[in-house]
Amino acid sequence: MKIMNQGLEDEMEVWGYRPCLWKRILVGVGSVCSGGLLLLLLYWLPEWGVKGTCTHTSLRDAHTLLLRTTDEFKQWFRARVHVISAPGEKPFDSLDLPSTAQAANGGLCASSEEHHGKSRQPVQINYFSHHSTKYYWNDVMQNFESHKGLEDVKMSCGSIHSDHSPGLPKSLQDYRRLFFGENEIAVRVPSLFTLLMKEVLNPFYIFQLFSVILWSAEDYYYYATAIVFMSVISIATSLYTIKKQYVMLHDMVAAHSVVRVSVCRGSKDIEQALSTDLVPGDVVIIPANGMIMPCDAVLTHGTCIVNESMLTGESVPVTKTSLPASGEEAARSFDMEEHKRHVLFCGTHVIQTRFYAGELVQAVVVRTGFSTEKGQLVRSILHPKPTDFKLYRDAYLFLLCLVGVAGIGFIYTIILSIMNKVPAKTIITESLDIITITVPPALPAAMTAGIVYAQRRLKRVGIFCISPQRINMCGQLNLVCFDKTGTLTEDGLDLWGVQTAESGRFLPPEADPAKESLVDTVFVACMATCHSLTKIEGELSGDPLDLKMFSATGWILEEPTEEETALHNPIMPTVVRPPTHSVPEANQNNMELSELPSCEIGIVRQFPFSSTLQRMSVVVRKLGEKHMKAYLKGAPEVVAHLCKQHTVPQSFTETLETYTRQGFRVIALAHRQLESKLSWHKVQSLGRDLIETNMEFIGLIIMQNKIKEETAGVLLELRQANIRTVMVTGDNMLTAISVARDCGMVRAHEKVIIADAVPPKDFHPASITWHYTENPAQTDKEHRTVEINLEDAVLDKRVTQQEQNYHFAVTGRAFAVLTEHFPQLVQKLVLRATVFARMAPDQKTELVEVLQSIDYTVGMCGDGANDCGALKRAHSGISLSELEASVASPFTSTTSNISCVPNLIREGRAALVTSFCVFKFMALYSIIQYLSVTLLYSILSNLGDFQFLFIDVAIILIIAFTMSLNPAWKELVRQRPPSSLISGRLLCSVLTQIVTCLVFQVLAFLLVRQQSWYETWTPQSDACNVSRSSVSHSQNVTSPRDHKNIKNYENTTLFYVSSFQYLAIAIVFSKGKPFRQPSYKNWPFMLSCMSLYTFVLLIMLYPVPAIDSFLEIVCVPHDWRVTLVIIVIVNAAVSFVLEEANDRWASSFLLWLFCRRNKPPRVSYHQLAIGLKDDADWPPRPATVTYARDLRSHTSAPL
């Protein structure tokens, strides 16, 4: 056994097998003897199929592979090994004529398209395909490996320029295509026959087929036909839905998958080719008017403006710059994630390009096909992980219990039939019939109905779902993570003001940076140039923050045309200048007007914003000046660190805190003059580290990010429902805390403790300093009222006051230190951490995993920009972006605020409770029918074909599908619905109802036999007219008997009683508050129940001969009918009382019965909370430090 993809998400164990003749013969014989059932079993269980027909061998010699995922699902797959013939063993082997270094790697001449004399013999390479990925045999590793692309070679940024700029010769391209295949994300739409076979071979449909054959053998044609009809509709609906999803995905992927591209061949040759021919290492030309990228490629020449909304959900165009070719950055190893600001991803739209005169915008292909970012996204949709939810696991266990009950009935029927000397054929059919009765064929369809209805209701409120099974999971959410910007707060930012700095001190804040006194300052010049804005079709486009900042200056941005670019040897810069028309408004004189043109500034080089570095910078030259300048903007603490300390005002920290505490978003600006010897060309090759150093601090921009009006109300509703809320943002810590307080996530009286962790340095161990933030001095009155109401309404008595009054706040940097150096503290911390600031996208995903590890059911709500990973990893991800990136999230809301979260949880709870109701109802239906049939078997009778038909179609199907229509309850309650079918309360409910139904069926069965008019029924019997009973009795000997013995008094009695039991159970199990609207508001269900009650009551009290004949029921005296009415009324009353008692007292009674009152809770976060309650040192005291070496707190000086 070997491990493939070690440490990755799709890690698998692999075993090798080769065919075994004698095993295959045995399987063939077994399949014939079992009528094909053995083949089906081996199809359903791949590991049995492989082990049953093959013998174990080494991976190298294997013909068939057995794969098993290493995650919690442990899924099995089988794969067939194929062989290709290639001139080399690996895609990046050199194909030059053999030399001492490369002789082993093939002999195909790189300058020719044909093999020449000295070429080596082709190498045979084993490979297999799994989930749209090919794995090739590696002799060195003695294992299979996948080839992702150019990054497999582990080359530096500089070597990509030097080794790959000329492009690939045709022969090398053809050779690499042997390994990478066509550059195509091929979503093959399966034929209807293939889909039909997959659907029909499902164990459920095989069981139905078995049931239909059995019923047909017993002449139950009508019921068999009804089941076949239902199955055909179910299969047709399923095939239509699956086919439609495949076609939609195929159309979405294929829309731009094949395009014509210009490919470099050698240093000068350029040829047109189809994008499907591209392989890693090819050099493509990006046209000036842009294109949809058919692959992942790294930009080596020029600049591109790209719309990456397909991948990130962020509609703002992104500037991509060329990969560094020299300097420190060029020496670094190329990494897709680290250098993504230079990578053009597959499926993204290149809007326009900028380039050097005479030089084309070029990119080296890095990945193709399913290895690309888009390909991996499509793979995750084509091959999703199974949904791990306790309800579904418990459902299978419950079905196994029903199979066990069926087994008891099966044995009982055989013994009873043998004792009564029943013919062998009847014994077989009737004993097998018990199994088909106990496992209800309509169960999966009925279970799905509730989810489908919930999905429709969600669609009506603007929430779209691509993973319907996750709706049930939403019902169990007890923690929701929220992104801040664009989710809790408005997407756009308003400029509140600016505060410039001079000579190491702050000047008073200014509201308008466009005012006369600031126009010619370096501060405004920095605001006007340090951005990534571009003009697309005459409109300024870019990051909303940049747009606000630039528009506040009132300056104008002009970009060069293609003709202008061609006139310059260096890159033609983007130019910004003050508006000439604003001069009169500014009351400037003529002399100042004449000087205005000198304010024109050209942007020579741009270093785009990096979320890792938290800054961006530009190199500019002012018209008429010899020196270039560098402007920098970014997070204040980062910018201050890069500035000369004497230029940073001493009150910097206090001023920053003042603004951030009030919830403002603060951006710092800095500049420096570059050396005069730096030419334009030299600047293009400099690394940003050389530019962004020794800066001079010039001031702060203060942006206001308003909280959305729905935010506070929704968070209050979630808090009242005992659902914890957490903020996960990339913004500043103090701003995040301020927003958390303003929106009610952290209440006015609660402390916030910042865990400031630093990594080990200079022989000092890693440490955490615990800072206690001050509560705001003043709180808005209205907000204070909300807090008081909240306290009164939702204070949980089970949680101590100590737990109620503090929250932790953690930065992304501290989170990384904590996970690496303080793993034992991470779970303690996240238990009460509410604010996570400066979090990188992968850290958001990691946080979701940590929360899941302590048994939280986690929801994630974000705008889709940096949250894709966390949205996918959470139990329930809700994207507020309507863009294609939302395909990564199970749920997408068309409303751009968090009001969708409580709606989703409400519908999830309703769907979950509906699933329980339907499952319990279907289980009781099968048990009630099982009891009826078992009792009738004791007198060698059974239910009639039309009785089965009436019960299964007219009662069960109508009720099962209408009881799922209850809408969600209008408000969230603290109580959560149960998540497990195998819970004491639910089992207690089911068992008490089974016992009730059993008692009343047995009571009716025995009572009818005690009646004075009772006799063995014959066609001449007429119990309705007792005076003729003697005549009937005398004719019993000669009258022909019904060989199935359907018509008899026991059958009629049990049919009436059981029909009412189905309806009573449906009403008892159809729960309303607190998770669903009351059943009386579900008019289709109530109408169905009332109609069926009325119909069964009428045919029982006032028999109609035609209906009696159709349903094969016999006439019984009116007194007995009245007795039956009393029996079913008492039955219904007992069922209702028992269910009410179960809802109120079952949990407490079971805890007392099994002595579990003082047992520790099962979920980890409850155990942690109980442990911390008794910990006198938690939370840590203010201004203390915790060291990694011994985890003891050491008091430090006040901070």
pLDDT digits 0-9 by tens, 107-143: 333 333 344 444 557 888 899 998 888 999 888 888 8
CB distance 474 to 876 below 8 Å: yes
Structure tokens at 530: 């340090």
Q: What angle do CA 247, 253, 254 make, to 5 degrees?
A: 80
CB distance 460 to 453 below 8 Å: no
pLDDT score of 591: 41
Confidence band of 731 (pLDDT split at 50, 70, 90): confident
Of the candidates 62, 46, 68, 55, the one whose C-alpha atom is nearest the C-alpha of residue 128 is 62
Q: Picking from 176-180, 231-235, 746-750, 1026-1030, which range would have the lowest pLDDT averaged per residue?
A: 1026-1030
- Top pLDDT among 983 and 88 is at 88
* Cα radius of gyration rounded to whole Å, the chain: 37
The H or E element spanning position 193 is helix 192-200
Alpha helix (H) ranges present in 938-954? 945-949
CA distances from 836 to 809, 1102, 1188 (A): 6, 71, 21
| Rounded CA separation 1065/922 (Å) | 10
The H or E element spanning position 363 is strand 362-367
Measure the CA dihedral 394/396/398/400, to 10°.
Answer: -140
Catalytic site residue from 93, 282, 394, 483: 483
Which residues lie closer than 8 Å to 540 by C-beta, 6 or more apart? 533, 534, 547, 550, 551, 557
Q: What is the DSSP string of 620-648?
A: EEETT-SSEEEEEEE-HHHHHHHB-GGGS
Q: Left if phi > 0, otherwise alpha if psi is -120 to 50, otherwise beta: which for 281?
A: left
Backbone φ, ψ for residue 519 (5° rounding)? -55, -45
Helices (H) and strands (E) in the chain, counts: 42, 42
* Helix, strand, or coil (residue 589): coil
pLDDT score of 1135: 92
Mean pLDDT score of the chain: 79
pLDDT score of 1092: 93
Average pLDDT over residues 745-753: 85
As a residue count, the chain comes to 1199
Q: Considering Cα of 599, then 600, then 604, then 607, what sign does the dihedral take?
A: positive
- Top pLDDT among 447 and 1189 is at 447
Of the candidates 152, 89, 128, the one whose C-alpha atom is nearest the C-alpha of residue 371 is 152
Q: How many CB atoms lie within 10 A of CB 333?
A: 12
**pLDDT greater than 70 at residue 954:** yes
103-113 per-residue burial string, b: 16 or more CB within 10 A, e: under 16: eebbbbbeeee
Q: How do residues 892-932 score in pLDDT, each as one tens digit?
A: 888 888 888 999 999 889 888 888 888 888 888 988 998 99
* Helix, strand, or coil (residue 1192): coil
- Top pLDDT among 528 and 103 is at 528
Beta bridge partners of 309: none
pLDDT score of 1065: 92
Distance of CA 271 to the CA centre of its chain: 42
Confidence band of 55 (pLDDT split at 50, 70, 90): very high
Q: Do the strands 283-285 and 505-506 form a parallel or antiparallel pair, or are they unpaired?
A: unpaired
pLDDT score of 569: 42
Helix 652-661 with 733-742: angle, nearest 10 deg: 30
Q: How many CB atoms lie within 10 A of CB 1106?
A: 8
Confidence band of 568 (pLDDT split at 50, 70, 90): very low
Of the candidates 55, 58, 32, 27, the one whose C-alpha atom is nearest the C-alpha of residue 43 is 27
CB distance 450 to 395 below 8 Å: no
Q: How do residues 13-40 score in pLDDT, each as one tens digit?
A: 999 999 999 999 999 999 898 888 888 8
Confidence band of 425 (pLDDT split at 50, 70, 90): confident
**pLDDT greater than 80 at residue 808:** yes
**What percent of the chain has pLDDT above 70?**
84
Most trustworthy range by pLDDT among 41-55, 578-592, 1024-1038: 41-55
Confidence band of 1082 (pLDDT split at 50, 70, 90): confident
Q: Picking from 574-583, 786-795, 902-911, 949-958, which range would have the lowest pLDDT averaged per residue?
A: 786-795
Percentages helix, strand, coil for the chain (3-state, rounded to 5) are 45, 20, 35
pLDDT score of 589: 43
| Rounded CA separation 1162/738 (Å) | 35
Distance of CA 713 to the CA centre of its chain: 26
Structure tokens at 884: 């294609």
944-969 per-residue burial string, b: 16 or more CB within 10 A, e: under 16: bbbbbbbbbbbbbbbbbbbbbbbebb
**pLDDT greater than 50 at residue 594:** no
Q: Is 494 one of the catalytic residues?
A: no
Q: How do residues 1092-1129 score in pLDDT, each as one tens digit?
A: 999 999 988 888 888 888 888 888 888 899 999 999 99
Helix 841-853 with 812-821: angle, nearest 10 deg: 50
Q: How do residues 317-362 score in pLDDT, each as one tens digit?
A: 777 888 887 777 778 888 887 788 888 988 888 887 776 556 788 8
pLDDT score of 26: 92
Backbone φ, ψ for residue 849 (5° rounding)? -65, -40
**pLDDT greater than 50 at residue 1010:** yes
Of the candidates 629, 651, 637, 623, the one whose C-alpha atom is nearest the C-alpha of residue 695 is 629
CB distance 439 to 399 below 8 Å: yes
| Rounded CA separation 849/830 (Å) | 11
| pTM: predicted TM-score of the whole model, two decimal places | 0.73
- Top pLDDT among 1122 and 681 is at 1122
Instruction: Please state the three-class secondary structure of 765-824 as a single string.
Output: CCEEEEEECCCCCCCCHHHHHHHHHHHHHHCCCCCCHHHHCEEEEEEHHHHHHHHHHCHH
| Rounded CA separation 9/599 (Å) | 54
Structure tokens at 652: 């910097």
- Top pLDDT among 779 and 1017 is at 1017
Q: DSSP assignment, residue 340?
A: G
Q: DSSP assignment, residue 327?
A: S
pLDDT score of 1096: 92
pLDDT score of 277: 87
Average pLDDT over residues 635-641: 88
CB distance 904 to 474 below 8 Å: yes
* Helix, strand, or coil (residue 360): coil
Measure the CA dihedral 1089/1090/1093/1095, to 10°.
Answer: -120
**What percent of the chain has pLDDT above 90?**
10
pLDDT score of 1033: 41
Structure tokens at 127: 């490979």
| Rounded CA separation 1167/1170 (Å) | 5
pLDDT score of 319: 78
- Top pLDDT among 1186 and 394 is at 1186
**pLDDT greater than 50 at residue 786:** no
- Top pLDDT among 991 and 96 is at 991
The H or E element spanning position 1053 is helix 1049-1069
Confidence band of 864 (pLDDT split at 50, 70, 90): low
**pLDDT greater than 50 at residue 796:** no
Q: How do residues 1030-1060 score in pLDDT, each as one tens digit?
A: 434 433 333 344 556 778 888 899 999 999 9
| Rounded CA separation 762/764 (Å) | 5
Q: What is the DSSP string of 238-265?
A: HHHHHHHHHHHHHHHHHTTTS-EEEEEE
| Rounded CA separation 851/774 (Å) | 27
